[in-house]
Chains A and B, each alone.
Chain A
Amino acid sequence: MCEVETITKIAKTLGVPAGEVKLNSEKIITRTNNNNTVSGFATILNVLAQESKSEIARNSTATREIAADVYQWIEFAVLYVAPGSKDKHISHQLLRDFNKLFATKSYLVGYFITLADLAIFYAIYNLVKSLSPVEKENYLNLSRWFDHLQQRPEIRQGGQVLNFTTIYLHGWAKGTHV
């Protein structure tokens, strides 16, 4: 998912107008709304969060520590995860890392959905979509988190619900669930 599309989706999730989102002459993403132009992925998300009154926006800026943590994940999502998810080797390492992370956490930052979750969610959406059921079996914790987010209509936004039901054989071969 390209940056423009991600910004538009997150704006919709937060319930704020996306405005005009495009790459400027220097190929940097910019957003113009009410004659106010900001550029840079993380900066735009920050502005969206300030405009929004949604729960997700509130939770993302609850404390300065949380806000800083969220910012860090957003940078990571745009600089590393989004490009990395297109590479065969890096993408699997990414999935492994996230899977390990979600073994002990329900969300990336704090104990509720934040912009960090949204940024990573959209950054790996196509990657997760490309996984076969057997491959998903290797990332059960990540699958749980991903499925949790996609079940929210405001996050899925009419998109296809990815299938996380475990393969039919699971009933006979429980050994795969460790």
Chain B
Amino acid sequence: MATGTLYTYPENFRAYKALIAAQYSGAQVKVAENFVFGETNKSAEFLKKFPSGKVPAFETAEGKYLSESNAIAFYVANEQLRGGKCPLAQAEVLQWLSYADNEIVPASCSWVFPLLGIMPQQKNSTAKQDATAILSVLNNKLLNSTFLVGERITLADIVVFSSLLHLYQYVLEPKVRAEFGNVNRWFVTILNQPQVKAVVKNYTLCETALVFDPKKYAEFIGKTGGASDKKQQAKAKEEKKPKEEKKKEEKPKEELDAAEEALLAEPKSKDPFDAMPKGTFNFDDFKRSYSNEDESVSIPYFWQKFDPENYSIWFGEYKYNDELSKVFMSCNLITGMFQRLDKMRKQAFASVCLFGEDNNSTISGVWVWRGQDLAFTLSPDWQIDYDCYSWKKLDASSEETKKLVQQYFSWTGTDKDGRKFNQGKIFK
């Protein structure tokens, strides 16, 4: 009988497949303790065993290695779960495994993950329609059969069930799932099998569907960017050197995946700022001055060239300062926002600063952009983060504004409660 160690983070629906299968077969599957996602599976030792670095991953007692959740579940299962003796039933099990991976998981992830805040919201996503189509297929199938293959529970049920867990937990609220009665019946039957209950604990069916919350995603980016903290800090130092900046901008292009390429292939959307008069202020000239010269030169240059008729200065304060913990996480929050506002760069400039230290810090910044109104409303792409800030338009002619600009552009001073300047990020 299969014995070994499973590497996974907690409540991983892919790991559930193997854990449930083991409950049926009696295989001794131990979940590795002290597993830290993003660390353990990136360590040299782990990568030597599992070159893909993906979890779940399985190490047998004999020192053999398996990755990919379906393969692991297949290995720890018993003959009954694999479809019995009949090759056709075995093939049917495989058919549902492929269906789960190729159809259900992509649709489920692209519907649920943005709502959980671990993926950005996709425009024109067909995830919902895809999931509905999948549920209809399953609903027709399960009208005439109690389980997916044969008359007993197999890996097909376990894998399809595991792949549907997120949908049933987060988005299929009662009135949405009502039309898939047969799937509901089957799902609840599987969920309540003792072998399944032993693995999937504290699970409840969705009462009200999650809705998209931009703040969640911004926070997630702040947290997960943490590992590359040093890189980020190095970047901050380099940010004043335009040449370095250029190099960095070119690099990501090589890593574009198919989806992004498709996006790029679409006709370029118009710059939302085009509707506004161009004025006399030239952002490029100012940014060049700011990057290459001392603030004692570039700030007076800013005031000399600034065109208050067509451009405006804003003060943005983060609304949830008391939730900020680690400084590097807060910095990632800022740089993440800058990245999402990429298309604004040409017509905007900002210096956003973090004051204070770990667990006692605030974020605020001075922004300049073309036009007199809040720029973020111009494009849906820019509305992910701005809700988390309170925005105040500054009077360009007042002395106070001059002071604020001086302070934020030169990265000095304190916030209004006296916390010292810690780090600054420039949007340009």
Contact = CB atoms under 8 A, between A and B. Distances in A.
Interface of A: 103-107, 110-112, 140-141, 143-145, 147-148, 151-152, 164, 166, 177
Contact of B185 (A104, A112, A147): A104
Given A111-B192, A140-B144, A148 B184 contact: no
B181 interface: yes
Interface in B174-194: 181-182, 184-186, 188-189, 192-193
B145 to A, nearest CB: 6
Contact of B145 (A104, A144, A152): A144
Contact of B192 (A110, A151, A164): A110
Contacts of A110: 192
Contacts of B147: 148
B198 interface: no
A151 B146 CA distance: 11
Contacts of A141: 143
Nearest to A151: B151
Nearest to A155: B151
Chain A contact residues: helix, strand, loop or mixed: loop
Nearest to B197: A111
A104 B144 CA distance: 13
A144 B151 CA distance: 10
13 contacts: A103-B182, A103-B185, A104-B181, A106-B185, A110-B192, A111-B192, A111-B193, A112-B193, A144-B143, A144-B146, A151-B150, A177-B140, A177-B143
Contacts of B185: 103-106
Nearest to B196: A111
Contacts of A104: 181, 184-185
A148 B143 contact: no
B186 to A, nearest CB: 7
Contacts of A111: 188-189, 192-193
Contacts of B182: 103
Contacts of B150: 151
Contacts of A148: 145-147, 151
Contacts of A147: 144
A3 B145 CA distance: 29
A177 B192 CA distance: 28
Interface in B156-204: 181-182, 184-186, 188-189, 192-193
Contact of A152 (B151, B181, B184, B189): B151
B146 A106 contact: yes
A107 B144 CA distance: 14
Contacts of A166: 144
The 7 closest A-B pairs by CB, nearest first: A111-B192, A106-B189, A148-B146, A151-B151, A111-B189, A148-B151, A104-B185
A104 B205 CA distance: 15
Nearest to A110: B192
User: Most chain-A Cβ atoms within 10 A of its Cβ — which of B144, B151, B188?
Assistant: B144
